[in-house]
Chain A
Amino acid sequence: EAGVTQFPSHSVIEKGQTVTLRCDPISGHDNLYWYRRVMGKEIKFLLHFVKESKQDESGMPNNRFLAERTGGTYSTLKVQPAELEDSGVYFCASSQTSGGADTQYFGPGTRLTVL
């Protein structure tokens, strides 16, 4: 079974540009999460999709970040315009819905560098 995949693995952009990160969850997983770790800080939750609906977006830092999950399959996270403080590693995770404490499976992350 394929795991969670993320693309690209690394992106370097200039301040003010736009970047779109993609996450493909494990097939059949309704839940999809985005997290990020900025330099020197802890991994922080951004948002949670259940199928195509945003269940919890309390961690999104500001309106420069837009997450979508059309069709309930893969998800994209767009940062527009990117700022220096957006640099970090963006992780995606997915899980099935069991009604209990669902195990989240993480992708390898996308390293974003904003110059």
Chain B
Amino acid sequence: LAKTTQPISMDSYEGQEVNITCSHNNIATNDYITWYQQFPSQGPRFIIQGYKTKVTNEVASLFIPADRKSSTLSLPRVSLSDTAVYYCLALNTGFQKLVFGTGTRLLVSP
């Protein structure tokens, strides 16, 4: 299963755009890049998923270059409530189990 690497932590101010980059050099053909968000005392919450190019939903955008060895989660105009841990995972369509790393702890300040 593909291993992902992402920053341990990031700080931002309210209203800024936050980009979290994830490396996945050994990504497999049937791996999808999936991002989850987790608040304290809650379970992880699905944010966005993509295979290649760009995906956008009401919460975030996900950019995946052609070689798929990295991806960038973009959160536009963050607010205090976006303070959370963000996990980048490679979800294999065959195995279906999520392999969590340490995630990126995002702290948004006023």
Which of A's residues lie within 8 Å of B, judged by CB? 4, 31, 33, 35, 42-45, 48, 55-56, 59, 91, 93, 95, 99-109
The answer, yes or no, to whether B34 is at the interface (CB within 8 Å) is yes
Contact B46 A105 (CB under 8 A): yes
The answer, yes or no, to whether B9 is at the interface (CB within 8 Å) is no
Q: List 10 A-B contacts (CB under 8 A).
A: A43-B98, A45-B97, A95-B96, A100-B32, A101-B32, A101-B93, A103-B49, A106-B43, A106-B44, A108-B42
Which of B's residues lie within 8 Å of A, judged by CB? 32, 34, 41-46, 49, 91, 93, 95-102
Known A-B contacts A101-B34, A103-B46; the reply to A35 vs B91 at CB < 8 A is: no
The smallest beta-carbon distance between B21 and chain A, in angstroms, is 19
The number of A-B residue pairs with CB atoms under 8 Å apart is 53
Contacts of A99 in B (CB 8 A): 93
Known A-B contacts A91-B43, A101-B34; the reply to A35 vs B98 at CB < 8 A is: yes
The smallest beta-carbon distance between B27 and chain A, in angstroms, is 13
Contacts of A106 in B (CB 8 A): 43-45
Contact B93 A59 (CB under 8 A): no
Contacts of A56 in B (CB 8 A): 95-97
Contact A101 B41 (CB under 8 A): no
Known A-B contacts A56-B95, A91-B44, A108-B43; the reply to A101 vs B49 at CB < 8 A is: yes
Residue on A with the closest CB to B43? A106
Known A-B contacts A100-B93, A102-B96; the reply to A93 vs B43 at CB < 8 A is: yes
